[in-house]
Chains A and B, each alone.
Chain A
Amino acid sequence: MRNKIKIENTFAEAFPMKASRLIITAYNIKWAREAAKSFCGFATSVIACGCEAGIEQELKSDDTPDRRPGVSVLIFSMSSTELQKQVLNRTGQCIMTTPTTSVFSGNYSDDKINLGHSLRYFGDGFQISKVVGGRRYWRIPVMDGEFLCEEFAYKSKAIGGGNFLILGNDTDNVLKAAEAAVLEMNKLKNIILPFPGGVVRSGSKVGSKYKSLIASTNSEYCPPLKGIIKSKINKGVNCVLEIVIDGLKFDDISNAMKIGIKTIIKRKFPGITEISAGNYGGKLGPHLFYLKEILK
């Protein structure tokens, strides 16, 4: 128990993913943000979106390659092929289409993802290639000037599905606690919270009674099912929200979980009774985040 909140003796279970970081810049932060939001749209879960993406942080003009305001985004996927497809499609349809934007790679590794290398053909022969500092960029003419795009993005190993659950007596209290945790966690680098507002209400378990579904509702944590099935929630709990974290390294996720949970404990939100985590008995992945170890 910490500040009257029970920390369940359990662990979050996460799985290996592939990730890439892009830096989107624009004439001003508004348009960089617009492009980033569009890029990260419909990217909450690999279950049906193909990828998970989110804004990592906003960047000042001193921190971007072309000295314009920018936003860095992280995108995660289960396979290299899917990541390549998602990065390319989303860059072409969401970033290139946004007024004044440019896009650069935000991480470097040996594994390349085609970016300008493929998008240049939109220039219909009028595209210009430029090598600056050993990196190739493509200048693609568009109606507001030109779209500057680095030739490749890069993929690296990452981890997806770090999580914790906030259990409480009603929606109001649990939402407030979740929002406060998200606010603090969003300040961290190398992680994203891919769900809307950083919070998910429809946490899932692996599999379903319906053969065609790979995931279904996390019935053990659904308050309406208390009494019908073997539930993991106590009598007074009427709302459970989950915060899911994707990160580049184990320590990034572990640190984000620690900060999120500690925020809830410190702020003593009324009605919050328990912090738990989603694990699936080893069916999902090899990365285990034990709550008690994280909070040491």
Chain B
Amino acid sequence: MNKIFLETKIVIEGSLNLKNLSQVNNPDFNINELKKIKVLYKNKQKNLCEIFKIKIEKNKQNFNEIFLQKTNSNFKYIGYKWNNDTLHVNSDIGSYVATKMESGKIIISGSVENYAGAEMRGGFLLIKKNAGKFLASSLPGKKMGMNGGEVFILGNVKDYLCYEMRRGLVFVGGKSGDYSCNNLISGTVIISRISGRNFANSIKRGTIIVLSKIKLESHFSETSNSSNSFLKLLENYIQTILKKKIFKSKHIFLRSLGDARVEGKGEIFSLKP
């Protein structure tokens, strides 16, 4: 397949919608048509080649590798319905990254804005800095959040993390904001620290692991923690991705179930005070 290098040749000052870049995922896509992909810049349709310098090389993989350079927070919808291919972004980008992503990999070296990984169904998203609101959540007006795949954020996230999430794995290396994991339906979320209010309201099922001490509301009841094998399996997997240990040997987890107000059977692991 191909290595595709995209570098902006103009300063992007307004919204740039890159939804159509995902056309390269189609195995039947003619690479010569790449420069004619339509993108919306400041609400006007343009060809990809009007915005980017394009360089194409052959690779030995059975998927395309796309390298996007000199981006900023005006870049939106990157990786929309992305599948199979690998996308590398070397700096910050805007909202709606990897929404409805299906498979493949997206690796972002900078920070992202809101709705990253929203309604994602599969694949792997790595954000090396921070993320905005509604990470791995549902899109505005929808009720189904992330539905599969894996999201790793090494920095902090803002409010509404994993709102209405249904499946998948999310790891947050920093802290999360208000309303984290609200209405969680299933899936696994690992968060280093919770700094916001109203954590895990109305969770129905799913697993949340908090790598710090937290005080839960009374609608969560403490129960026995005998999930040693599962936690170790999870730790081992995350260690293979991040190349570092996330659980320390002194970590002892408490397990709580809830939210009782919605007859929820969700579980929260947190460090013993």
Contact = CB atoms under 8 A, between A and B. Distances in A.
Given A67-B236, A145-B228, 6 more contacts: A66-B233, A68-B232, A130-B188, A130-B230, A131-B169, A137-B230
User: Which 7 A-B pairs rank lowest in CB-CB distance, beginning with the nearest?
Assistant: A145-B226, A102-B229, A66-B233, A66-B232, A148-B229, A66-B229, A67-B232
A282 interface: no
Given A66-B236, A67-B235, A67-B236, A131 B229 contact: no
A270 interface: no
Interface of B: 148, 167-169, 188, 205, 207, 224, 226-230, 232-237, 240, 265, 267
B147 to A, nearest CB: 11
Q: Report which residue of B148, B229, B267 has the largest number of chain A beta carbons within 10 angstroms of its beta carbon.
A: B229
B169 A132 contact: yes
Contact of B227 (A67, A131, A132, A145): A145
A131 B168 contact: yes
A146 B227 contact: yes
Contacts of B226: 144-146
13 contacts: A25-B229, A66-B229, A66-B233, A66-B236, A128-B207, A131-B148, A131-B169, A132-B234, A139-B227, A145-B226, A146-B226, A146-B227, A146-B229
Contacts of B169: 131-132
A139 B230 contact: yes
A133 interface: yes
Interface string A55-76: 0000000000111100000000
B236 A65 contact: yes
Contacts of A146: 226-227, 229-230
Interface in A121-141: 126, 128, 130-133, 137, 139
Interface string A146-169: 101000000000000000000000
A148 B234 CA distance: 12
Contact of B167 (A67, A68, A131, A137): A131
A100 to B, nearest CB: 8
Main secondary structure of the interface of A (DSSP, over half): strand
A100 B95 CA distance: 45
* Chain B interface mostly: mixed
A65 B232 CA distance: 8
Contacts of B240: 133
Given A131-B168, A132-B169, A65 B233 contact: yes
B202 to A, nearest CB: 19
Interface residues of A, number: 20
A132 B168 CA distance: 8
Contacts of A128: 205, 207, 267
Contacts of A132: 169, 188, 233-234, 237
Contacts of A144: 226
A68 B234 contact: no
Contacts of A126: 265
A148 B30 CA distance: 46
Contacts of A137: 230, 233
Contacts of B267: 128
B233 A145 contact: no
A131 B167 CA distance: 8
A148 B168 contact: no
A132 B224 CA distance: 23
Nearest to B233: A66
Interface in A98-115: 100, 102
B228 A133 contact: no
A68 B232 CA distance: 8
B233 A148 contact: yes
A130 B206 CA distance: 9
Nearest to A102: B229
B146 to A, nearest CB: 12
Nearest to B122: A134
A130 B168 CA distance: 8
B196 to A, nearest CB: 26
A27 B229 CA distance: 9
Contacts of B228: 27, 68, 145
Which residue among B148, B169, B235, B236 has the maximum number of chain A CB atoms within 10 Å of its CB?
B236
B149 to A, nearest CB: 9
Interface in A176-230: none
B233 to A, nearest CB: 4
B145 to A, nearest CB: 15
Most chain-A Cβ atoms within 10 A of its Cβ — which of B168, B224, B233? B233
Contacts of B236: 65-67
Contacts of A102: 229, 233
Contacts of A66: 229-230, 232-233, 236
B240 to A, nearest CB: 8
Contacts of A65: 233, 236
A27 B236 CA distance: 16
A130 B207 contact: yes
